[in-house]
A and B are shown apart, each in its own frame.
Chain A
Amino acid sequence: MTMSGSMNVFDVSARAMSAQMVRLNTTASNLANARTDYASKDEAYRAMRPVFRAVMDDNMATVDVERVVQSDLEPQKRYDPSNPLADKEGFVWEAAVDETAELIDMLETARNYKNNVQVLQTAKSLILETVRNQ
């Protein structure tokens, strides 16, 4: 909670919150693209995932999104000859998104985000109590 040094508790929680926000954005994109059909495997949508990395500073560590990668889940081939995107044999490719996994990820993201908000609130009230003049 010291205000010296290059990072304080507010930076730690704030950066963690924005990292969780990136994660929530990718989850939203994945869910929005779930169950869409494509004419070929290559153009099919693949779920996106942020890669988190700890950023250390003395005794503190916050988190950054290093990059966003595509998941290694493969698009599913589905027989649907009535689909206008279907190939000669009547197959389409379904976006590679595991909706259940995405929903669970979303819940975990929300919980982590809330925890960081709580940490910020506690730290803020402790600092205010400390500087309050009696």
Chain B
Amino acid sequence: MPSLDQVFALNGGALQLRSQRLNMLASNIANASTPGYKAKDLDFDRAMQQAQNGSSIENSMSDHTGFRVPLQPSLDGNTVELSVEQALFAENAIQYRTTLSFLQGQVSTMKRALKGE
């Protein structure tokens, strides 16, 4: 029988990566007008893949964090494009919610099993 950690590993890890990505996108939006600031992002798919292969969340995150290539470079060296960041932020928030509801589904299944419903 798998341990509880293993049961929740997939969605739990995904949730952690999603929340870290939310932090990064929030940082990019916060620095929308900081001269020279380079926007960062997480390649979620590849980070998730590495996490599934047994790597820690921290490692897979640092391995797949990179700088954003702007569609149009700006004069002050800032690479934040608000429209891009806002769209990704919204998308990531929805993906976080989706992962969360999967996780909550797993928890309630587990609860029902324990209660013997």
Contacts and interface: CB of A to CB of B under 8 A. Distances in A.
Contacts of A59: 20, 23-24, 27, 40, 42, 61, 65
A73 interface: no
A129 B97 contact: yes
Q: Which of A12, A61, A129 has the most CB of B within 10 A?
A: A61
A46 B31 CA distance: 26
Interface in A78-117: 108-109, 111-112, 115-116
A24 B26 CA distance: 21
Interface residues of A, number: 33
A122 B40 contact: no
B22 A63 contact: no
Interface in B1-36: 15-16, 19-20, 22-24, 26-36
Contacts of B31: 16, 52, 54, 61-63
Interface in A1-46: 1-2, 8-9, 12-13, 15-16, 20, 23
Contacts of B27: 12, 59-62
Contacts of A118: 86
Contacts, number: 95
Interface string A47-60: 00001111000011
B27 to A, nearest CB: 4
Contacts of A109: 33
A123 interface: yes
- Residues of B contacting A: mostly: helix
Contacts of B32: 112, 115
A89 B88 CA distance: 60
A115 B85 CA distance: 10
Interface of B: 15-16, 19-20, 22-24, 26-37, 40, 42, 61, 65, 82, 86, 89-90, 93, 96-97, 100, 104, 107-108
12 contacts: A9-B26, A13-B26, A16-B30, A20-B33, A54-B31, A59-B23, A63-B34, A115-B29, A115-B82, A116-B29, A126-B19, A126-B97
Given A13-B29, A60-B27, 18 more contacts: A1-B22, A12-B26, A16-B30, A23-B33, A59-B24, A59-B42, A60-B23, A60-B24, A61-B31, A61-B37, A62-B27, A115-B29, A115-B86, A119-B29, A119-B30, A126-B19, A129-B97, A130-B15
